[in-house]
């Protein structure tokens, strides 16, 4: 059984779980079910990226597709190029995962994640190819000679994306912001410093020296708190921390304190609302967004549309409801007027524009936007996460905790889409209450669903 599509493409340990053979088969499957003659491909800075991109490109070209390799590029940059050119694309990246992991994300010719039906069709084709061991040398219908697709390298294609970013914001004349920018040794390493320089921002750049191994290693949005000391040491106004493929942003204020996706969403929503630019006075968030965000927006008359975890669900809901802003606590923010997917560098520019226009510090803006409720989250490895929905013992305990919290807190349990685990999250008036409730729920989840390997 090959790897399956999760919430964000196919992902696994490169060369053992996500193998070149599987990537080649996926390339064939994608070409057969996503015809069009041309496919954009890009990657982040992992050492395994070239290997998998080459295998994927081989599968695509074997089916007669022309492959345009744009090299190292942020996922949102590749999504923008796909939409701008009207052709599908594939990104080789495992986002915020360690460098040994890698993944393949397929994007439609609109620059969006694939619709469920098309994703299933590609999976079905992939299953057939894997079942046949991917061997097609003896296939009498195989394309040969000039009919075989080609690989066209276009390393400068990303410059059009830079132009798009710069024209997406209106920086204030004379704005003198100093920032520290953490590129996670990933796809933002060249793009983010170049864009910041073009809009006149004084940036101290760190973690922008990728070697194929150090991506996300003690840096980037999953380790944003480590940037705090660099922000204070530089006397910077704020910090910007991207992940490996630059589709998310976590910010830090001038005191080195983390400003997560929920706070960023609240700030942008309130600003757009006040300027009459928040279409339908509503935004999109996922089930993981903090209760404090929902309360803050409700108090200002802003409605919330809730989706499952994953920026693809956010993007779908934005489109379905004709809304302009949505995102996740993790820092995936989608500005629908300018982008088709979460874009960390665009979010950073929008943040700099907001801070400059307001004349206030990020700390003040974040504090005024919302008050975060203490949140405790645990990832519980279990034998059978798929049985969560029918685990009456678990839901009985959930009901008890919810009754005790009343309107002052929230409980969320969900099976992971990427591993054999259940996510247990509780928000409560105090951190101690949240932690105690999580421990109760974790215990019953383990009893009901069994330890890993059982």
Partner residues linked to 13 by β-bridges: 101
Tokens describing residue 371: 């008050």
Q: Nearest-CA neighbor of 12 among 72, 82, 77, 98?
A: 98
Residue 59 CA to residue 92 CA, distance in Å, equals: 14
Q: Nearest-CA neighbor of 267 among 248, 275, 254, 320?
A: 275
Asked whether the beta carbons of 31 and 59 are under 8 A apart, the reply is: yes
Is residue 1 exposed (0-12), middle (13-18) or buried (19+ Cβ within 10 Å)?
exposed
Partner residues linked to 326 by β-bridges: 284, 334
Residue 380 CA to residue 443 CA, distance in Å, equals: 9
* Neighbouring residues of 333: CB distance < 8 A, sequence distance ≥ 6: 248, 249, 261, 264, 265, 268, 325, 326, 327, 342, 343, 347
Residue 57 CA to residue 153 CA, distance in Å, equals: 12
CA dist list (Å): 119 to 59, 105, 108, 140, 186: 17, 11, 10, 28, 27
Residue 38 CA to residue 118 CA, distance in Å, equals: 17
Which helix (H) or strand (E) segment is 41 a member of?
Answer: strand 38-43
Tokens describing residue 400: 């008890």
Please identify every residue annotated as catalytic: 95
Strands 325-327, 303-307: pairing kind:
unpaired
Residue that the structure tokens 């040969």 belong to: 144
> What number of other Cβ atoms are within 10 A of residue 139's Cβ?
10
- Which letter, b or e, does each residue of 67-100 get, where b requires 16 or more Cβ atoms within 10 Å of its Cβ? bbbbbbbbbbbbbbbbbebebbbbbbbbbbbebe
């Amino acid at each position: 059984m090959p790897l399956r599509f999760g919430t964000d493409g196919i992902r696994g340990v490169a060369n053992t779980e996500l193998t070149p053979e599987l990537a080649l088969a996926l390339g064939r499957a994608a070409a057969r079910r996503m015809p069009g003659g041309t496919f954009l491909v890009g990657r982040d800075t992992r050492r395994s990226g070239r290997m998998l991109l080459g295998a994927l490109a081989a599968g695509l070209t074997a089916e007669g597709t022309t492959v345009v390799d744009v090299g190292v590029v942020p996922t949102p940059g590749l999504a923008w190029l796909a939409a701008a050119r009207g052709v599908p694309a594939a990104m080789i990246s495992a986002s915020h995962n360690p460098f040994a992991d890698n993944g393949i994300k397929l994007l439609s010719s609109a620059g969006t994640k694939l619709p469920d039906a098309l994703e299933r069709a590609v999976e079905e084709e992939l299953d057939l190819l894997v079942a046949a061991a991917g061997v097609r040398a003896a296939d009498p219908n195989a394309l040969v000679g000039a009919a075989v697709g080609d690989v066209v390298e276009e390393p400068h294609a990303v410059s059009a994306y830079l132009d798009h970013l710069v024209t997406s914001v209106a920086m204030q004349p004379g704005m003198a912001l100093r920032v520290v920018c953490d590129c996670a040794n990933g796809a933002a390493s060249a793009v983010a410093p170049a864009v910041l320089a073009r809009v006149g921002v004084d940036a101290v750049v760190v973690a922008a020296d990728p070697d194929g191994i150090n991506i996300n290693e003690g840096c980037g949005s999953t380790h944003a708190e480590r940037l705090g000391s660099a922000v204070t040491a530089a006397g910077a106004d704020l910090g910007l921390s991207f992940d490996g493929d630059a589709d998310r942003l976590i910010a830090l204020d001038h005191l080195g304190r983390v400003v997560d996706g929920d706070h960023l969403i609240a700030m942008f929503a309130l600003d757009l609302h006040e300027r009459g630019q928040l279409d339908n006075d509503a935004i999109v968030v996922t089930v993981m967004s903090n209760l404090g965000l929902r309360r803050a927006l409700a108090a200002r008359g802003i409605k919330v549309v809730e989706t499952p975890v994953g920026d693809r669900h956010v993007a779908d809901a934005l489109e379905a409801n004709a809304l302009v802003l949505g995102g996740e606590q993790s820092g995936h923010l989608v500005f629908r007027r300018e982008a088709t997917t979460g874009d960390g560098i665009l979010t950073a520019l929008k943040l700099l524009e907001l801070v400059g226009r307001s004349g206030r510090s990020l700390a003040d803006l974040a504090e005024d936007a919302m008050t975060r409720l203490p949140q405790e989250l645990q990832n519980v490895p279990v034998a059978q996460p798929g049985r969560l929905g029918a685990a009456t013992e678990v839901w009985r305990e959930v009901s008890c905790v919810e009754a005790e919290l009343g309107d002052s807190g929230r409980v969320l349990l969900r099976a992971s889409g990427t591993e054999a685990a259940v996510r247990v999250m509780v928000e409560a008036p105090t951190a101690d209450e949240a932690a105690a409730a999580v421990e109760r729920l974790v215990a019953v989840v383990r009893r009901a669903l069994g330890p890993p390997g059982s």
